[in-house]
Structure 1
Amino acid sequence: MGIETSRRSFLAVAGLLGLAACGSNTGREGSAAGTLRHCYHAYGEDGVQDAVRRYAAAYPGAEVEVQWNPGDYDSKIVTALQNSAVPDVFEAQVKVDWVRQKQVVPVGDLLGDTRGDFVAALLESQTVDGQLYGIPQSIDTQVLFYRPSLLQAAGVTPPRTVDELLDAVKRLNTGGVRGLFAGNDGGVGVLTPPLLWAAGLDFLSPDGSAPGFDDPRAATVFGKFRELQTGGGLLLGAPADWSDPGAFVDGRVAMQWTGLWNLPKITAALGDDVGVLPFPKLDDSGAVSVPVGAYSAMVNARSADVEAAKAYVRWLWVERTDHQTEFATAFGAHVPARKSLSDEAESLRSGPAKDIVGFVVDSGRIASPSRWSARANTALSDAVSRIAREGADAATELRAAVEVARGEISRTGR
């Protein structure tokens, strides 16, 4: 991946810098004069690291040092924001706690007349109390990939409802091929949001004032999830988890829930024998969906030069549309955060890629709302895990998660 040979780069790639890679315990009060430090998580696609270093080197306003972070990037960022002026710029999804603790700064003024070109839902996901705190870089989503040939052989039509999905998983579990892979945890980590949306629910109420899953339909849909776990058609214990397409391209499963970013590898391996679907609806009161997420460029409020950091973000993620298009489409499949750039991207104009862009436009839902706290998310995820994997009573588990979510909404101040 074109890794630099300096000792610092070697240690970062080897994971030996730990939290220091994103600024914790650096012994520095702030960025060196004229130098900005930009923190990325370690993208899996070949070429991304070279590209972001090339972008940084081209910036005319200051020297920019790219910090590449393998491992638990999210924890590194949380620690860095609490303790350090480094990094000046980092990629993340805004959290309400960061805003309340004044760890990040508003960046909405950087958009100017380009605001209307950004996908509105992405901007909303990075907004707290009317202020934008992150400039979206590109859109990622997840979909249900399936092998049309295997479904046809089993007499299965592409599932459009949750019950049809359960039936398909069972019927496709044959001849050494499992029906579905959604992660080695059975899909708890990635299917909880689409299951809520399938029932017509969400993490939060539309105005953010209450939990959005305080409804009997939540127990119903997560009861269906329990049926999926016990039906025998799920692949568990795969060598790689849901974010890697290996189980699907190696023929271990007929369907896999995974990311758009894997589309080039999947089509290279399987050619035209690839179909894609949004997650199915529970019934006519629910909805099909795909989760929409985007890392956004954010500015550390403790940066030694906040205005310099903001100027760099504006240059990279607002002005340099050539960098933005390349970043989204040249190293795996992603959707640009700006509508005009999606319309121009040749790789998104046909086949499954075109279908997925349509899912994002028609059925995309925000996977990580800014007001949805980590504690509330853990409570819901743990409840769903106990329902799905242990057979715990759905209504009881969800009532407890609702109470935690209510407390978090009150704590963070809606």
Structure 2
Amino acid sequence: MVASGNNPYEKALAGLAMNRRRMLALGGLTAGAGALSACGGDTGRGDGDGDGITLYQWYHEYGEAGTQEAVKKYAEAYEDATVVINWVPGEYETVLSSGLLADKPGDYPDVFEGHLNRSMVDSGQVVPLDDILEDVKDDYTTDDLARNTIDGKVYGIRMIDDPQFLYYRPSLFDAAGVGVPETFDDLIAAAAELTTGDVKGIFLGNDDSATKMFQSIVFGAGQTLLTDDNQIGFDADTVLAGALKVKELHDSSSLLVGAPTEAWDPSSFIQELCAIQWCGLWALPAIQEAHGDDVAIMPVPGFNGGNPTVFNGGWDTFVNANSEHVDEAKAFAKWLWIDNEEYILDWNLSYGFHIPPRLSMRANAEALADGPAAEAVRISEEYGWAENPNWTPTMETAVDDMMTRIVLEGADPESEFEAAQGTIQTELDSIFG
């Protein structure tokens, strides 16, 4: 669920480019300053219900038609408290970080969506939810539990799973005599063949995707960001070989760069500015509306003999530890995001496509039962990887800068890797001693 750029499907995609970037951000929230006044309050129903208890629930600004109305509908249906919706535009994480430091009800959320970061736990911003998840933990994927777990306690409830992959049109591949790429070298070659005067071969983002490819390099090699004992989980040979392949793609003429909207928004693919685009499952209905059955998807091909990869993004719900109504907030979160199959399926399938996080509910997701949607579910389960809540924003910035300097600026790969490794190790030492 996203906000949009300008395209013929503006109603379905309004606001897409602005908000989707926050879903990929690894590390979640930090205690930064923000303009709390950016929040817009909206009461789900009349005051006085629920024995006088009022809960404030915060969302980032989803852009698809009907999303804000949907969350109001959910709030209105809850009988044990009055639920006030704050629909937060702009830089949600900044506003939320400020809100979690507030001490006045209404200025802070009781229930909010976001991404777990160790700092949220260490600073006492969120409460464990193991008690309300106890009976259903086996109904979530291992990744969805792991991304919400710190030191053995689960703090978040998964709301939606959003696999992100490459869209392509089979007719363009057939016309160019190009097969579906199985390796990153194949992808580079295919992008070159598909590039014409009016169409670029591939769009991975307006930053050339120097940063986006780091995780695909690592996970495709069977490595990880951090090991189970919180050590660096990747090596220099793997990362540098992959980074040089990304640089090879960057140095070609096959990349669409400077597109009107970011890759979160499928407009470039819809408007035929590119033959292949990195995007997410949320965009599939709009893409199929534009191109009908001439749509297919594939994972990011493997680097240097490695496996394909799919980033499984999404959103989670948390309960503010500083709420005056922690128990009531937990009860509401359980009612909406654990027990309520109708609303969980509505949120996942009615406003763009997302995979329901409850495994038992996926069987009822008829919209994902065939075609590219079913393939998205399959590759997300086979090749998917998820965030590690111990991977901090500082660590992510270190590898982003490394990739940018190697790929875009031609910096020395080995020295850049050593610098990033040093920053990550210093961060690990500060957290885990």
Question: How far 1:163 moved relative to its partner?
Answer: 0.7
2:242 touches 2:304 (CA, 8 Å); kept in 1? no
Amino acid at match of 1:356: A
Deviation at 1:266, TM superposition (A): 0.4
> Where does 1:278-297 land on structure 2 (aligned, <5 Å)?
278-284=299-305, 286-297=306-317
Report what 2:343 is aligned to. Answer: 323
| Match in the other structure for 1:67 | 86
1:117 pairs, out of 115, 139, 149, with 139
The separation in 1 between residues aligned to 2:88 and 2:175, in whole angstroms, is 44
Of the candidates 2, 22, 36, which is equivalent to residue 19 of structure 1?
36
Q: Does 1:351 align with 2:371?
A: yes
2:221 is matched with which residue? 199
**Residue 268 (structure 1) aligns with:** 289
Match of 1:28 in 2: none
Measure the CA separation in 1 of the matches of 2:341 and 2:128: 22
1:237 aligns with 2:239: no
Amino acid at match of 2:340: R
**Per-residue deviation at 1:355?**
0.3
User: 1:354 is aligned with what amino acid?
Assistant: A
Displacement of 1:162 in angstroms is 0.9
Q: Which residue of 2 aligns with 1:135?
A: 157
- The more displaced of 126-135 and 165-174 is 165-174
Q: Does 1:332 align with 2:352?
A: yes
Aligned counterparts of 1:79 and 1:153: Cα–Cα separation in 2: 53
SS at match of 1:90: strand
- Using the alignment, how far apart are the partners of 1:64 and 1:362 within structure 2? 38
Q: Which moved more, 1:207-216 or 1:385-394?
A: 207-216
Q: Which residue of 1 aligns with 2:45?
A: none
1:374 and 1:123 map into 2 onto residues whose CA distance is 20
1:253 and 2:270 matched = no
Residue type of the alignment partner of 2:422: E
Quick one: distance in 1 between partners of 2:222 and 2:176?
A: 30
SS of the aligned residue for 1:170 comes to: helix
Q: 1:204 Cα shift?
A: 1.4
Do 1:97 and 1:412's aligned partners in 2 also have CA atoms closer than 8 Å? no
Give, in whole Å, the separation in 2 of the partners of 1:208 and 1:248: 41
Measure the CA separation in 1 of the matches of 2:359 and 2:327.
Answer: 27
CA contact (8 A) 2:157 2:337 kept: yes
Q: How does 1:362-401 map to 2 (within 5 A)?
A: 362-366=382-386, 368-401=387-420
Q: CA deviation at 1:142?
A: 0.6
Residues 90-144 of structure 1 show CA distances to partners (whole Å, capped at 9, x for unaligned) of 0011101111111111011111322211222101110000000000001011111
List runs of 5+ in structure 2 lacking aligned partners: 1-33, 41-50
Q: CA deviation at 1:33?
A: 5.5
Q: Secondary structure at the match of 1:391?
A: coil
Aligned equivalent of 2:112, options 90, 101, 108? 90
Q: CA deviation digits over 1:50-95, x for unaligned, max 9?
A: 0011101111110000000111111112222233451111001110
Amino acid in the other structure paired with 1:20: S
Question: Corresponding residue for 1:311?
Answer: 331
Whole-angstrom CA distance in 2 between matches of 1:181 and 1:48? 28
d(CA) in 1 for partners of 2:239, 2:395: 16
The aligned residue for residue 224 of structure 1 is: 245
Q: Residue in 2 aligned with 1:183?
A: 205
1-structure distance, mates of 2:215, 2:83: 37
Q: Structure 2-normalised TM-score?
A: 0.86
- 1:22 Cα deviation after fit: 5.4
Aligned partner of 1:9 in structure 2 is none
The answer to whether the Cα contact below 8 Å between 2:202 and 2:274 also exists between their aligned partners in 1 is yes
**1:183: Cα distance to partner?**
0.9
Aligned equivalents of 1:76, 1:221: Cα separation in 2: 36
Distance in 2 between residues matched to 1:74 and 1:211, nearest whole Å: 26
**Number of aligned residues:** 387
Out of 69, 76, 79, the residue aligned to residue 98 of structure 2 is 79
Q: Which residue of 2 aligns with 1:34?
A: 53
Aligned to 1:408, what secondary structure does the other structure show? Answer: helix
Q: Distance in 2 between matches of 1:208 and 1:324?
A: 34
Q: Which amino acid aligns with 1:139?
A: D
Shift of 1:189: 4.4
Aligned partner of 1:212 in structure 2 is 233
User: In the aligned structure 2, how far is the partner of 1:208 from the partner of 1:408?
Assistant: 14
Deviation at 1:21, TM superposition (A): 4.5
SS at match of 1:344: coil
1:208–1:93 CA distance, 2 compared to 1 (3 A): farther
